[in-house]
Structure 1
């Protein structure tokens, strides 16, 4: 069975939650005997790969403009999928889902994964939000099967579109933690094991990293540092302002990192913090939990679905309360917490997705 995947910037080693999702999922799908091709956006690709872990990679051009990039690339990708003879076209995210009816008109079976209501993101203007809402509607109304990554999204599409049949709740997953030390990297960053708070995500407004920087600037850090791991796809006023604010407050900026550098930061942080106002089901949070680190996160529905204790949440946007939570973490010995990660197993998740393909 030939599966064509679009809606992602690409794999491997490309920043983003959907990208991490696809990087983990589709090699496992290919290992089950499916013929899988992921269509990538040229402006994010820095390699010449045509295949990775048994997943075929096709790279086609897309404009480097956030308002048009996804939809133009998806249109090209749908046409390419038809030429490649796709049995199933798997479209990720609500923006690309605008093209679900077009793919259906071309005769393809379509699976749509709803990763979250992106129109709630602060970076979009009125026109973009309207298009994203229309994309959500097209995906939910016309896809053969819809995958949602949280109960929050499942309830949302049932309420808005009365879509309850052939809707599958399949969580994001997390890989086994790779516990490691990297003393040379820590020396380069100027940090010590166990003496830093970690923020790990893209530098976009809805992640509220400016709240994290502000909160840390107002408390007694006792020699601890704040480390922000990540960057932005499109440098703008927010990302430039955040970096300036971070440097002025002694925050360590790592840029976008993967592999041993990231694993060492997750292994040795005293706390992971995600103060965002919008999420689907954050893979970065699941990754931190898989390492058993203390987490402090905003009380938005997607974060609350993970089921942390009350003390791990703060009211979204309340910088003072966030500071109090972080101060409490710094004042106590480092905790290692055994979270139940059983429902976030990528192998089980890939079995669930493969069953949908077989059924369709």
Structure 2
């Protein structure tokens, strides 16, 4: 070592790495599981010293502009306002923008946007793909769209440099199907602690512990009509049903949900909620229900558990992967069974000790810092290969 040089000065500092997220509507406070996943993960990575950029769709980011949010660069980019084309066109444009930015990692989320992995590879980008679930099983898609989504899955799992799945079952299935390593990294959970009252209960005429809650987008696989019909049958006198969520595109399904809600006494539509207002809805609910037919990994269900709520979920594979007690599940689509289970749960609330144990279990198993560290392991492995 030359005279006068210390060991620390001689050491080569680790370069500051850059990551771009693509394949989502945007952050912050944009409706959707992938959006919540990226919002929380991006914040953790920024805290770990990474330069983080999220490329979102401009119509979901009217107040962001091209700037920074919590140390994260958020870049709005145009996309057509058409359900079948929005994600694909936006990802195509986003890949070209990423090619100009030259990040260390381009992290694409979901199998639809993964259709553009070949283009990203051709442009010399190092790509990681997260599989958030079998999107081609969603009821809203027709035959052509389903085939395109399956092709996106193939490209994402075969051609990316790194592969992540938010479900252990999906990780196993993808590894077997495509003979490629897929790392299981679950969704995390973070619920804002109840702070000052936001006024949302008074706004919608709600009483603490006297309503059932569901928080989800108005899309067919979430099956809000099943819950509305079960609520009508469960005989919960003095209780209300709160549906927190909305539709991105007006569809026959969203119109059906609104019509059913309007004609069913006790059903309250709050629209999409986030932050302190959503936290207050979770904190004061008597029960959370998720009747969906399709999930990747159910963030809203985890958030309800982290809030200490009793929960009911359909018995699909993604929900059962959480290994909840048997009486926390009901057969998918069985409205009578759901009504009976709801009545039982509302008559037998969790004790404070049970709620506290549930909160602790979820926080330990699904913390965002843990999710970030597992994701960073995938990045580092990708960068050295």
Higher Rg: 2
Question: Out of 52, 55, 60, which is 1:44 matched to?
Answer: 60
| CA distance in 1: counterparts of 2:28 and 2:308, whole angstroms | 26
Paired position in structure 2 for 1:107: 124
Contact 1:177–1:287 (CA under 8 A) maintained in structure 2: no
> Unaligned regions of 5+ residues in structure 1, if any?
none
Return the offset for 1:206: 0.3
Residue 370 of structure 2 corresponds to residue 348 of structure 1 = yes
Paired position in structure 1 for 2:107: 90
| CA distance in 1: counterparts of 2:199 and 2:155, whole angstroms | 50
Question: Out of 138, 144, 149, which is 1:127 matched to?
Answer: 144
Paired position in structure 1 for 2:8: none
Contact 2:57–2:78 (CA under 8 A) maintained in structure 1: yes
* Secondary structure in 1 matching 2:273: coil
Paired position in structure 2 for 1:249: 264
Question: Out of 42, 46, 50, which is 1:34 matched to?
Answer: 50
Paired position in structure 2 for 1:222: 237
TM-score, structure 1 normalization: 0.97
* Secondary structure in 2 matching 1:141: helix
* Secondary structure in 2 matching 1:90: strand
TM-score, structure 2 normalization: 0.90
Residue 267 of structure 2 corresponds to residue 267 of structure 1 = no
| CA distance in 1: counterparts of 2:206 and 2:160, whole angstroms | 48
> Unaligned regions of 5+ residues in structure 2, if any?
1-16
Question: Out of 300, 305, 310, which is 1:289 matched to?
Answer: 305
Paired position in structure 2 for 1:61: 78
Q: Describe the superposition over 1:20-68 as per-residue Cα deviations: whole angstroms up to 9, x where unpaired.
A: 0011000110121111111011121121341111111111100011101
Residue 92 of structure 2 corresponds to residue 75 of structure 1 = yes
Return the offset for 1:219: 2.0
Contact 1:294–1:335 (CA under 8 A) maintained in structure 2: no
| CA distance in 1: counterparts of 2:347 and 2:196, whole angstroms | 24
Contact 2:162–2:379 (CA under 8 A) maintained in structure 1: no
| CA distance in 2: counterparts of 1:182 and 1:269, whole angstroms | 15
| CA distance in 1: counterparts of 2:349 and 2:104, whole angstroms | 54
Over the aligned positions, Cα root-mean-square deviation in angstroms equals 1.3
Question: Out of 210, 216, 222, which is 2:225 matched to?
Answer: 210
Residues 357 and 245 of structure 1, relative CA distance in 2, 3 Å threshold: same
Contact 2:310–2:349 (CA under 8 A) maintained in structure 1: no
Return the offset for 1:183: 7.5
Residues 181 and 211 of structure 1, relative CA distance in 2, 3 Å threshold: farther
* Secondary structure in 1 matching 2:258: helix
Return the offset for 1:184: 3.2
Return the offset for 1:335: 4.3
Contact 1:179–1:291 (CA under 8 A) maintained in structure 2: no
Residue 352 of structure 2 corresponds to residue 330 of structure 1 = no
* Secondary structure in 2 matching 1:56: strand
| CA distance in 2: counterparts of 1:176 and 1:123, whole angstroms | 29
Paired position in structure 2 for 1:9: 25
Q: Describe the superposition over 1:163-182 as per-residue Cα deviations: whole angstroms up to 9, x where unpaired.
A: 2x2x2111000115513573
Contact 1:171–1:343 (CA under 8 A) maintained in structure 2: no
Paired position in structure 2 for 1:190: 205
* Secondary structure in 1 matching 2:199: helix
Return the offset for 1:147: 0.6
Return the offset for 1:125: 0.6
Residues 335 and 236 of structure 1, relative CA distance in 2, 3 Å threshold: farther
